């Protein structure tokens, strides 16, 4: 995935870039910040270090990202936006392809992202999240749960109600914890643990579907 600036309404920037040139400069800075994060760790994300990596002045960076917390928050927002865009694509694919194993498709798709998004893993596993990023992560998980809900609805598997939304949120929380552990164990994802995650999630979502009012 290429790095892009994120939704201005969700990105904690000091100032939102309006011109294409400014947006391009911010994207360049965020790509540089991601390189520093992956190569040197979250503690290296100072404005001085990131500006040097991006080959821009500290003053130029400071107008958008005044400190390490702002850099972390902007990187996190970018990852959330990209993950949610993938989920939106998967919802559309579910409706068109009528998946027989939605859990397998979703787990494999997001495991693939974990394998390639080294910055995402470095940020989450480096214990460097700010309080703002943690709050944004909680909101992100609700949006991902809504994506799972939309997949089930697209497949005609369940009725849309509060119970379905709650169940999908629980499934996302469980899947996220298992995925993080799988990738802590192995940079490619512990295959056995990911398989166990699929077994667990299939059983849980089968129970959710079985108790849905749409089922006889």
Instruction: Give the pLDDT confidence of 143-184 residue by residue, as tens digits.
Output: 999 999 999 999 999 889 999 999 999 999 999 999 999 999
CB atoms within 10 A of CB 2: 6
In this predicted structure, the answer to whether residue 121 has a pLDDT above a threshold of 60 is yes
Of all residues in the chain, the percent with pLDDT exceeding 90 is 70
Q: What is the pTM of this model?
A: 0.86
Q: What is the mean pLDDT of residues 77-87?
A: 94
User: What digits encode the pLDDT tens for the residues 26-35?
Assistant: 889 999 999 9
User: Distance between CA 95 and CA 112 in Å, rounded?
Assistant: 21
| Residue that has been written with the tokens 């694919």 in this structure | 93
Q: How many CB atoms lie within 10 A of CB 73?
A: 23
Q: How large is the average pLDDT for residues 59-72?
A: 90
The tokens of 43 are what?
């503690």
Please give the Cα distance from 202 to 216 (Å, whole number).
Answer: 20
Q: Which two tokens mark 48?
A: 């001085």
Question: The domain 75-210: what is its CATH number?
Answer: 1.10.357
Residues 79 and 121: beta-carbon distance below 8 Å: no
Q: Is the pLDDT of residue 131 over 60?
A: yes
Q: How confident is the model at residue 213 (pLDDT cuts 50, 70, 90)?
A: confident
Concatenated DSSP letters of 69-120: HHHHHHHHHHHHHHHHHHHHHHHHHHHHH--S-HHHHHHHHHHHHHHH-HHH
């Amino acid at each position: 995935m290429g790095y892009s600036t994120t939704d201005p309404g969700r990105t904690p920037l000091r100032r939102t870039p309006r011109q294409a040139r400014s947006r391009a400069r911010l994207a360049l800075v965020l790509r540089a910040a991601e390189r520093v994060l992956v190569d040197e760790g979250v503690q290296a994300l100072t404005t001085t270090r990131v500006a040097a990596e991006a080959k821009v002045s500290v003053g130029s960076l400071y107008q958008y990202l005044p400190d390490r917390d702002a850099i972390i928050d902007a990187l996190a927002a970018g990852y959330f936006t990209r993950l949610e865009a993938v989920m939106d694509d998967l919802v559309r694919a579910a409706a068109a392809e009528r998946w027989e194993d939605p859990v397998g498709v979703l787990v494999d798709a997001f495991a693939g992202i974990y394998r390639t998004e080294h910055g995402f893993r470095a940020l989450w596993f480096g214990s460097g999240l700010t309080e703002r990023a943690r709050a944004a992560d909680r909101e992100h998980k609700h949006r991902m749960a809504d994506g799972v809900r939309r997949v089930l609805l697209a497949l005609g598997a369940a009725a849309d109600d509060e119970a379905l939304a709650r169940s999908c949120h629980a499934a996302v929380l469980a899947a996220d914890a298992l995925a993080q552990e799988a990738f802590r164990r192995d940079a490619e994802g512990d295959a056995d643990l990911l398989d166990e995650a699929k077994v667990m999630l299939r059983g849980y979502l089968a129970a959710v579907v079985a108790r849905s009012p749409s089922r006889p």
